[in-house]
Amino acid sequence: MNWKTIKNLIKEELESELGDNPAPAPQADTGNLPSINVGSNKFKLRLGVNKNETKLGIKVKFIAERPLDPKIKIKLEIAIMKKLQNGLASHDMIPSKDPDEPEDNTIGIWIPIEHIRELILDALNG
């Protein structure tokens, strides 16, 4: 059995379970998220878990209220990364830019799970 056959079996199974009703679209409501200001730009802060095997860790999304000009977005990414690097350095954590962030109004950062593990071990070992 090849991968295409497996995908088709999964698709058929899901279609039989869902019928003609498509799955609901993900919610983009950012109303309950905390806000931060970076310069004159206001962002909502969303935290989650990145389960991608190559980027396993904590994901941090800074969601702007409006689409960002690409040049301004780069400058904001640099400012946010510098601030995070300085703040997390005392905990031996290094944030990385998420190159796969698809939204124009979002700056994605992730912190590797290994860094979180080391933080916990350091706290336990005193």
Per-block mean pLDDT, blocks of 10 residues, the chain (126 long): 64 60 47 77 87 85 88 90 90 88 89 88 83
Instruction: Tell me which residue of 110, 121, 113, 115 sits closest to 80, measured CA to CA.
Output: 110
Question: What pLDDT was estimated at residue 26?
Answer: 41
Q: What is the pTM (predicted TM-score) of this model? A: 0.67
Question: What pLDDT was estimated at residue 16?
Answer: 62
Task: Give the Cα separation of 112 and 124 in Å (integer).
Answer: 19
Question: What pLDDT was estimated at residue 34?
Answer: 81
Question: What pLDDT was estimated at residue 62?
Answer: 93
Task: Give the Cα separation of 11 and 68 in Å (integer).
Answer: 37
Q: How far is CA 11 from the centre of its chain?
A: 27
